Structure 1
Amino acid sequence: MNWRKNNWRKKLRELLDGLTQKSAQGRTNCFQSLSKAFVKKYMPNFIKDRYFTICDSIERSVKKGGELEKAAAAELATIVCVQLGTDDASEEICKTLKPVLLTTICDNSVSPTARAKCCIALGNITFLSGGEIAEVIILMQQLEAIFSCSYLKGDGTVPNINADTANLHASALSTWSLLFTLVTPGTISSMMKSKTLPSLEKLSELLESAHLEVRMAAGEAFVLIYELGREESENFEEDFALDVSETFKQLATDSHKYRAKKDRKQQRATFRDILQFIENGTITDIQVKFGKEVLPLDTWTRRKQYETLCNILGPSINIHLTENDLLRDIFEITGSPADIPTYPAHQMERFRKRLLNAANFKARTLSRAKNRDKRSDF
């Protein structure tokens, strides 16, 4: 979309008008074109003036549209929330779209592909809007109801599901993992004992899935649970860690010829990193450079959040890391006093919550560094 500088607003208005056309394919094309435009350029003011129209179109298409239209509308919902950031309009969109997205992901008559896209969108807008943790936990339980269909059967055999359904389960589990990064350490063990969160034994059954994406999502969930769980106790589920490490070793050295070579390579690389963390508490140092700034991805929690935003924004994430207040809050990127945004009074409560989360994250990082030093000395 190579639009001239003075013409892009006109093009965007035409695409917004196209969201109400009669042609389903035409509406889908407009959703997709708007998503591409909103990813490439940070334009919160333009969207804020029209968020009600956008939200209404998304809601209508998710309710009544076909598979491709539902998927395109769900994708736009996430991008709009990224654009609006800490603005109240983002919270309003989340409140409006949550019910229809939740209804869609629980509707077995909807195609698995559309349900998967809606799962991802629902988790993303919940994460971005900074909702109450009680609501986050409820949504995590609803997501578990979806991916639990990939647990082993009562007789211990692996369920036979097709590729589209496996993708749905993997999307639900990956979304569950993103929301898990919002859980405060200190409550994880108690929530597992009360079955508020699934047990590690149940999650380990997903590692036996015949589908790569489910196994990968399960490994990701495990490493996040252990990272935050070890902030509660250095010996968090230590006995189970020894047991599951054997499964990780098998996946990290998998050489079964009936699996695609590319899949085997991807699986081995991922589970080697997971195994290294579970056994030694170490993580590969990754740094993202954008402009003159550097973002260290020194925890699995931060990696998961960054990966999620990369999936939303693609190559344009560097633009948003530089200009978008929401992303800078999430990753604790501080600028000069002249660059620090000012917030109206009605936004301060949400900003306070983000600052509290940032302080908790910093405390966890410091604690983790001390524990790593102790393990190294030992």
Structure 2
Amino acid sequence: MPRNKKKNSRGGQHGAVQPFSDEDASIETLSHCSSFSDATSVADEGGETNEDSAQEDFQYKLKGFIDSTVDKSAKTRQGALDGLKTAMATRILYEFISERRMTITDSIERCLKKGKGEEQRAAASLACLLCIQLGSGIESEEVFKTLKPIFKNILADGSANIQARQAVATSLGLCTLVAEDDILDVQATMECFENLFTRSYAKADGTCPSISPQVSQLHTNALLSWALLLTICAASQLKDILQKHLPKLQMLLESDDVNMRIAAGETIALLFELARDMDAEYEFDGWDELCDKLTALATDCNKHRAKTDKRKQRSVFRDVLKAVEEGAFQSETIRFGSERMSIDSWVRKRTYDAFREFVGSGMNYHLQANEFIRDVFELGPPMLVDSATMKAMKISRFERHLHNSAAFKARTKARSKFRDKRVDVGEF
């Protein structure tokens, strides 16, 4: 996937910071923040004047959130971080953010160093969203250069809050993908992740280490971030990784944690895909043993495991087994606006899942409008959709809703009559 480094040349607008009360910075204002996520609906109701007014109000709120990230109240800081996260996940704010990126970076740094638990988690996620907004260029590199040492310190500190370490393990991976320019630094970050998830490997005597659920989640997050960075590794590095880790990753398939088992299985599938991209005749010495383990997980009937865990696990490992045995991938089509994108490889799946982790329900919007994400998935420049097209799309969706409602009512009536007939037959 292309990750061309280029300096962004788009400019932003300067604006004075407006006063903002603690009450407005609370978590309750998040719904107000998200209400501006669809500018077209504002335009439909009142035209360009209302849209401009809404935009000014939205930026006023954002400035208030930024100011409140340094408030004395932890609750206010938490609300401000969450407000910024919601805004960045649901809208493209490049012009606004680029002018204030160092201010926002300083706030994130302060919250990571002095905050606790949830505040650190929110700050780590916000750092990732900031890089996603800025894209792959000098601006995001500067942000990451400031935050990377703090991320690594938290990740390596066994006494740090476990929730903060879990969040950092996820954020550091995607920030590295977006903003790291040196492949040697990418390798160093991957080693940080290795230092964590390899602690879940089986011991020399074959027994699994005793790990708490929270630490297991930390190791799982580290493994998934490591797998994400595999997608941008050089061929020479991949050869070393295959030799060193592929035999040992099988050990994680025996973990008591279903999330770890799934993460290990998907990482194994990804490694096989990358290996076969380099060498179509790639062979793995422990192939038979690995396939036996994957088959057992794909048909797991262990009574000691929860039904939901077994269902989820069997579904994933059926796909993993096909990847290892046949080199196959169960493709999925993502629809956004008038466009479609195919998730047709484990590389794409890992990358898509990583971005979706942060933007959530805003993923389709970012696929339409975020130049960087479109570049990652090779979608080309953002497509401009005029208001007439938007209205036509809305009308078609409304008509489809009416059709579905009518069909549902018809089915209900037909089934009611059928039930009445069955009752009549039963009475004879």
**TM-score between the two structures when normalised by the length of structure 1:** 0.85
Pairing 1:269-348 to 2, within 5 Å after superposition: 269-335=315-381
Structure 1 residues 216 and 107: CA distance shift in structure 2, 3 A = same
Separation in 1 of the partners of 2:382 and 2:146?
36
The question of whether the paired residues in 1 share the 8 Å contact of 2:374 and 2:381 is answered with: no
In structure 2, what is the equivalent of residue 151 of structure 1?
201
The question of whether the paired residues in 2 share the 8 Å contact of 1:251 and 1:268 is answered with: yes
* 3-state SS of 2:82 partner: helix
Separation in 2 of the partners of 1:278 and 1:30?
46
Separation in 1 of the partners of 2:158 and 2:294?
33
In structure 2, what is the equivalent of residue 366 of structure 1?
none
Percent identity reads 36
The question of whether the paired residues in 2 share the 8 Å contact of 1:75 and 1:117 is answered with: yes
* 3-state SS of 1:11 partner: helix
- Equivalent in 162, 174, 187 of residue 137 of structure 1: 187
Is residue 259 from structure 1 mapped to residue 309 from structure 2 by the alignment? no
Is residue 2 from structure 1 mapped to residue 18 from structure 2 by the alignment? no
In structure 2, what is the equivalent of residue 189 of structure 1?
239
Deviation, 1:191, is 4.7
Deviation, 1:314, is 1.1
Q: Which amino acid aligns with 2:238?
A: I
In structure 2, what is the equivalent of residue 229 of structure 1?
275
Separation in 2 of the partners of 1:283 and 1:331?
17
Separation in 2 of the partners of 1:284 and 1:100?
39
Structure 1 residues 269 and 331: CA distance shift in structure 2, 3 A = same
The question of whether the paired residues in 1 share the 8 Å contact of 2:224 and 2:267 is answered with: yes
Q: Which moved more, 1:267-276 or 1:176-185?
A: 176-185
1:289-328 deviations in Å (ceiling 9; x for gaps): 1122211111110111011111111111111111111001
Deviation, 1:336, is 8.4
Separation in 1 of the partners of 2:110 and 2:310?
41
In structure 2, what is the equivalent of residue 83 of structure 1?
133
**TM-score between the two structures when normalised by the length of structure 2:** 0.75
The question of whether the paired residues in 2 share the 8 Å contact of 1:186 and 1:231 is answered with: no
Separation in 2 of the partners of 1:64 and 1:6?
32
Q: Which amino acid aligns with 2:188?
A: I
Is residue 29 from structure 1 mapped to residue 79 from structure 2 by the alignment? yes
Is residue 106 from structure 1 mapped to residue 152 from structure 2 by the alignment? no
The question of whether the paired residues in 1 share the 8 Å contact of 2:81 and 2:123 is answered with: yes
Separation in 2 of the partners of 1:19 and 1:187?
41
Separation in 2 of the partners of 1:287 and 1:5?
33
Separation in 1 of the partners of 2:262 and 2:140?
31
Structure 1 residues 283 and 337: CA distance shift in structure 2, 3 A = closer
In structure 1, what is the equivalent of residue 230 of structure 2?
180
Separation in 2 of the partners of 1:33 and 1:256?
43
Separation in 1 of the partners of 2:246 and 2:221?
19
* 3-state SS of 1:6 partner: helix
Separation in 1 of the partners of 2:278 and 2:256?
33
Separation in 2 of the partners of 1:224 and 1:98?
26
Separation in 2 of the partners of 1:146 and 1:129?
22
Separation in 2 of the partners of 1:191 and 1:175?
15
Deviation, 1:147, is 0.9
1:53-83 deviations in Å (ceiling 9; x for gaps): 1100111111121111110100100011111
Deviation, 1:280, is 0.9
In structure 1, what is the equivalent of residue 251 of structure 2?
205
Structure 1 residues 335 and 7: CA distance shift in structure 2, 3 A = closer
1:161-190 deviations in Å (ceiling 9; x for gaps): 111111001000011000111113354224
Structure 1 residues 331 and 207: CA distance shift in structure 2, 3 A = same
Is residue 40 from structure 1 mapped to residue 86 from structure 2 by the alignment? no
- Equivalent in 251, 263, 268 of residue 314 of structure 2: 268
Give structure 1 regions of 4+ aligned residues with deviation exceeding 4 angstroms: 335-339
In structure 1, what is the equivalent of residue 404 of structure 2?
none
The number of equivalent residue pairs is 335
* 3-state SS of 2:159 partner: coil
Separation in 2 of the partners of 1:239 and 1:191?
15
1:219-255 deviations in Å (ceiling 9; x for gaps): 1110111101012222323332222111101111111
1:267-303 deviations in Å (ceiling 9; x for gaps): 0000000101111111112111112221111111011
Separation in 2 of the partners of 1:295 and 1:12?
32
Is residue 71 from structure 1 mapped to residue 101 from structure 2 by the alignment? no
* 3-state SS of 1:296 partner: strand
Q: Which amino acid aligns with 1:278?
A: V
Deviation, 1:337, is 10
Unaligned ranges ≥5, structure 1: 340-378
Unaligned ranges ≥5, structure 2: 1-30, 34-53, 386-428
1:123-175 deviations in Å (ceiling 9; x for gaps): 11100115222111111111110111111123211111111111001000011
Q: CA RMSD in A?
A: 1.8
Q: Which moved more, 1:251-260 or 1:236-245?
A: 236-245
* 3-state SS of 2:342 partner: strand
Structure 1 residues 187 and 144: CA distance shift in structure 2, 3 A = closer
Separation in 2 of the partners of 1:67 and 1:237?
45
Q: Which moved more, 1:165-174 or 1:105-114?
A: 105-114
